[in-house]
Structure 1
Amino acid sequence: MTKGYWISHGRVDDPAKYDLYRAANAAPLAEFGGRFLVRGGDRVTKEGTAKPRTVVIEFPSYQAALDCYDSPAYQEAIKLRQGISESDLVIAEGWAG
């Protein structure tokens, strides 16, 4: 079984309100085995363009990554970041090698 990943490039316009989203997404991420590999921090865009913040979350399977995003709890969390942030999110299947 290959792992699944959320790969996000985003921008946060209201950090205080964004903390409400972080608090709300903690439960669904934990429920589906999500683990942060990258959560902001320094980075350099070498090609193309990307929003200023990068987040990578690993899940035990591609299906778990999809299910977490589609879960009612995460869909409720998304509502908390609408209008205060913008992101591009890709859910990708890991490579088994």
Structure 2
Amino acid sequence: MAGYWIALVDVHDPEAYQEYAKRAKLAVEKFGGRPLARGGRKVALEGAEPPGRVVIIEFDNIEQAQACYNSPDYQEARSYRADAASGQFMVVESLA
């Protein structure tokens, strides 16, 4: 079953965030991740609209998604995000 990274990200420093995004993309590709949504238009249907960007990345399975997040490549990328953005990150397993 596929695993999905879901991130709600509020970017404070767009220039520094660009460096994170560039490095994170390489790590995600290395683990076979496929971006499905990355900061496009969003419409709140119930409750408050989430701040900032919504990112959804599909992996072949939840273990692959976790391995990418925990990899040295992604953790290095993550260090560039530390002062540039805040957010919530999770992995969700698909139903089928």
What TM-score does the superposition give when structure 2 sets the normalisation length? 0.92
The answer for the alignment partner of 1:59 in structure 2 is: 59
**How many residues are aligned here?**
95
Runs of 4+ residues deviating >3 angstroms:
none
After TM superposition, give the deviation of residue 91 of structure 1 in Å.
Answer: 0.5
% identical equivalent positions? 39
Q: Does 1:43 align with 2:42?
A: yes
Structure 1, unmatched stretches of 5+, are none
The alignment's C-alpha RMSD in Å is 1.1
After TM superposition, give the deviation of residue 83 of structure 1 in Å.
Answer: 1.3
Q: Would you say the 8 A contact 1:51–1:87 is kept in 2?
A: no
Q: Does 1:81 align with 2:81?
A: yes
State the Cα deviation string for residues 8-60 of structure 1 (Å, max 9, x = none): 11111111111100111122101111111001111112233422211100001
CA distance in 2, matches of 1:48, 1:9: 15
What TM-score does the superposition give when structure 1 sets the normalisation length? 0.91
The answer for the alignment partner of 1:12 in structure 2 is: 11
The 3-state SS of whatever aligns with 1:29 is helix
